[in-house]
Amino acid sequence: MGLCHGKPIQDPPVQEEGPEIPSDEGPLTNAATPKAPKLPFLSPSPLPSSYKSSPANSSVSSTPLRLFKRAFPPPSPAKHIKALLARRHGSAKPNEATIPEGNEAELGLDKSFGFSKQFCLKYELGEEVGRGHFGYTCSAGVKKGELKGQEVAVKVIPKAKMTTDIAIEDVRREVRILRSLTGHQNLVQFYDAYEDEDNVYVVMELCRGGELLDRILSRDGKYSEQDAKVVMVQILSAVAFCHLQGVVHRDLKPENFLFASKDENSPLKAIDFGLSDFVKPDERLNDIVGSAYYVAPEVLHRSYGTEADMWSIGVIAYILLCGSRPFWARTESGIFRAVLKAEPNFEEAPWPSLSAEARDFVKMLLNKDYRKRITASQALGHPWLRDSQVIKLPMDIIVYRLTKAYICSSSLRKSALRALAKTLTVDQLYYLHEQFQWLGPNKNGYISLQNFKMALVKNSTDAMKDSRVLDFVNTVSSLQYRKLDFEEFVAAAISVHQLEGLESWEQVARRAYEFFEKDGNRSIVIEELASELGLSPSVPVHVVLQGWIRHSDGKLSLMGFIKLLHGASSRSTPKA
């Protein structure tokens, strides 16, 4: 759904795919692809190498270009995404094959939202300022009330286009999300929602500064590092707030960020929550939505969470810094193949002239393994952003999930994580210290699990009720465990997967193992190790745990130590 766009948007024509497309491009290669790690036992990506239902699989022979040398129009959503959205909103053509998603018959649909019907008494619609797939946005004058005399933006959603239950629920959810999240300085301000027989009217702040995309193009396609930092801090601040509340945007791109005014230092506002959804920290979404150039690999595999937004932010950061898309092809299926298989190019200009911190920042966002991707709060604490301004890091829900896993772990795994915690850098500890302070330690420097709940409740909005984030937090606070000091909190809140994503992971793992050898390693028989990991008696432990224990002294090997950091493999543990 389009929202408060700074100018009317014309969807570029979608190229029809044929069985063959002439192309002078070479095979898909990448000089920037990292070398295979020396450690053969790193955890593999959760994304399968071949996925039959992936939209990247097609007969089109074109291969993706990674760079372009000209100004680019707003990227069009992929055809398969358009088709899914069309079915979702009941606008598929009669002769198109459709997959039923809910009630497809318009007959008997309840299109009453319970919104006020006094729109025309308070507002007078002006010119159209933007148009999306399922609605359009106009400026409007306020005739009465607190905003009398001011101009606002009104998103008009025709009820005639709401021909499925899902389409109606999408509108309800969009209004609930806007109403819950409004007030953050980098989110478009929501005022109210109205309806009449024909339309739903969503009233918001009018942003006159234009799209982020237009600013990029006006600067010859890219920003300086310093200016890019200012933009990224605002984007990350908005997204970190959404993610804490359990809201995933699902369509982050330069067109969906507007400047409040034309002033050079105008604040940036995230808009268009028409595709947004609620997501619990331990749940995954499976519907494919978004825009092709910004879609994360795990979205194409229909299993994703808030990490998908971080990938999109990585694409935006890449474009801001070099003026090129990291993944590009002549067709939508080609784009998907590039997203799934190609690596962004950091070898060509201007990347060699940019700072190492800038390159590292983008790489950490564009990791194809979503488990290794940094969160919005972690990104705000990255040295590239922190060296230019003082940033208060927001709360991060990932800390809750990791702490829960730590508490439920065996004593042996806790020892391994405490050894790993001793290898963290000052920058990594800075982020964890900020998270610890959010939890309100007592004067002796300890926190209880009740602190986790109280801290989140203080920073909650109504969105948390819909996303059931508080339900998840209740499962954490209800666990029985001693109070944690900062040292143990660090061990609890480490993401092993994220550390694995670092180029220095091999050295980090070996150093951690040395600490473990001194303080935590002990002789253990394979049956005891299986019990520590909670493996079922039906699991062939001598096969699954082969190589975990040294033959010389019966202690954990380096391979066993690293596997232990992750806990029992889901592939080796039968599902309940």
pLDDT digits (tens, 9 = 90+) for 181-215: 999 999 999 999 999 999 999 999 999 999 999 99
What angle do the packed helices 411-421 and 505-519 form, to 10 degrees? 120
The whole-chain average pLDDT of the chain stands at: 84
Residues 151-174: tens digit of each pLDDT: 999 999 999 999 999 999 999 999
Locate tokens 């889901």: which residue? 570
pLDDT in tens, 116-162: 999 999 999 999 998 877 889 999 999 999 999 999 999 999 999 99
Quickly state the pLDDT bin for 528 (edges 50, 70, 90): confident
d(CA 453, CA 397): 11
The domain limits of the chain are 212-386, 398-520, 521-576
Question: Between these two residues, 274 and 133, which has the higher pLDDT value?
Answer: 274
Write the DSSP symbol of residue 409.
S
Confidence of residue 40 (pLDDT cuts 50, 70, 90): very low
d(C-alpha 104, C-alpha 165), whole Å:
7
Q: Kindly tell me if the per-residue pLDDT of 64 is higher than 50.
A: no
Phi, psi angle pair for 268, to nearest 5°: -100, 140
- On whether the CB atoms of residues 2 and 130 are closer than 8 A, the answer is yes
% of the chain at pLDDT higher than 70: 80
Is pLDDT of 288 > 80? yes
Rounded to 10 deg, the angle between the 307-322 and 356-365 helix axes is 150
Residue 18 banded pLDDT, cuts 50, 70, 90: very low
pLDDT band at 1 (very low <50, low <70, confident <90, very high): very low
pLDDT of 90 higher than 90: no
Say whether 262 counts as a known binding-site residue: no
Indicate the residue type of 19: P
For 473, half-sphere exposure in the C-beta direction (CA atoms, 13 angstrom radius) is 26
Tokens of 57: 């699989």
pLDDT value of residue 573? 34
Which pLDDT band holds residue 312 (cuts at 50, 70, 90)? Answer: very high
What's the rounded mean pLDDT across residues 558-574?
A: 70
Mean pLDDT to the nearest integer, 256-266: 95
Check pLDDT > 70 for residue 85.
no
What local confidence, expressed as pLDDT, does residue 572 receive?
35
Strand ranges inside 132-209, DSSP E: 136-142, 151-158, 190-195, 199-205
| Separation of CA 268 from chain center | 19
Rounded to an integer, what is the distance from CA 317 to the centroid of its chain?
Answer: 14
Q: If you average pLDDT over residues 10-19, what whole number do you get?
A: 36
- Selected from 3.40.50.450, 3.30.420.240, 1.10.510.10, 2.40.10.10, the CATH number assigned to the domain covering 212-386 reads 1.10.510.10
The pLDDT of residue 536: 83
Residue 282 falls in the annotated catalytic set: no
Query: For residue 377, is pLDDT > 60?
Result: yes
Greater confidence (264 vs 17) lies with: 264
pLDDT digits 0-9 by tens, 461-490: 999 989 999 999 999 988 999 999 999 999
Whether residue 7 contacts residue 210, with contact meaning beta carbons closer than 8 Å, is answered with yes
Evaluate whether 159 touches 197 at the Cβ level (below 8 Å). Answer: yes
- Helices marked H in 459-523: 463-467, 469-477, 486-492, 496-500, 505-519
Identified catalytic residue from 198, 220, 227, 251: 251
Beta bridge partners of 304: 285
Q: What pLDDT does residue 520 have?
A: 78
Closest CA to 316 of 137, 502, 75: 75
The CA distance from 77 to 436, in Å, is: 40
Greater confidence (46 vs 234) lies with 234
Provide mean pLDDT across the span 311-315.
98
398-520 placed in CATH 1.10.238 = yes
Q: How far apart are the first and last CA of the chain?
A: 40
With bands split at pLDDT 50, 70 and 90, how would you rate the model's confidence at 522? confident
The answer, yes or no, to whether residue 61 has pLDDT greater than 50, is: no
What pLDDT is recorded for position 46? 62
> CB under 8 Å to 128, separation ≥6 — which residues?
8, 136, 137, 138
